[in-house]
Chain A
């Protein structure tokens, strides 16, 4: 059974940092792209970032570029999202998702989602 378990979300002040973790199990982690998607009441779902199965390619949505860094550890079946210079508008539930690719390259769909971890940015 595929499982994705996020952790690390909590209350942080604007300008602060947070590191989210996602522990994966039930599939060959090193063979899949992984992504983070967040959900806010105002915007709904937003794609945040994706990392290739071997970690050699990473892509980010414009509004997190330069602030968020995605990494993965295939030895420990984990993916991480380092979030710096957090803003109030980053407040969201962050989901770790397994990322399916069309022809191994183009983003196709997200077939498994974790339960999410809540990040609140507020003073």
Chain B
């Protein structure tokens, strides 16, 4: 299984929006609505920000939203803030009780 494909980096200015894509195949992202997104600040534990494509866990800001079309899922962050600067990872169920992650995207808030 290859990792899901994410851009290595994206950037945006404070207050703007940014979108991160996550491309898989018809066997993982395209097959299930079981895509999740994680935010990772260096030195801290990763935290889940979206699950089942577009659901937000309790306490996660509505600035984070998700969508999926065919084999590509997307994470959108509106109203960018300095503390949104982090690495973001997507993940998907890949069948046969396995999970696959994306390679990660570094979001820089300019």
B109 contacts A by Cβ under 8 Å: no
Q: Which residue of A lies closest to B104 (CB)?
A: A44
Residues of A within 8 A of B98 (CB): 47, 59, 61, 107
Q: Which of A50, A62, A100, A109 has the most CB of B within 10 A?
A: A109
Complex partner residue of A109 from B3, B36, B87, CB under 8 angstroms: B36
Closest to A105 in B: B97
- Residue tally, chain A, CB below 8 Å to B: 25
Cβ contact within 8 Å between A45 and B93: no
Known: A106-B93, A108-B34. A47 touches B46 (CB 8 A): no
CB of B48 within 8 A of CB of A111, answer yes
> Which residues on B are within 8 Å of A, measured CB to CB?
1, 3, 32, 34, 36, 38, 40, 44-48, 51-52, 57, 87, 89, 91, 93, 96-104
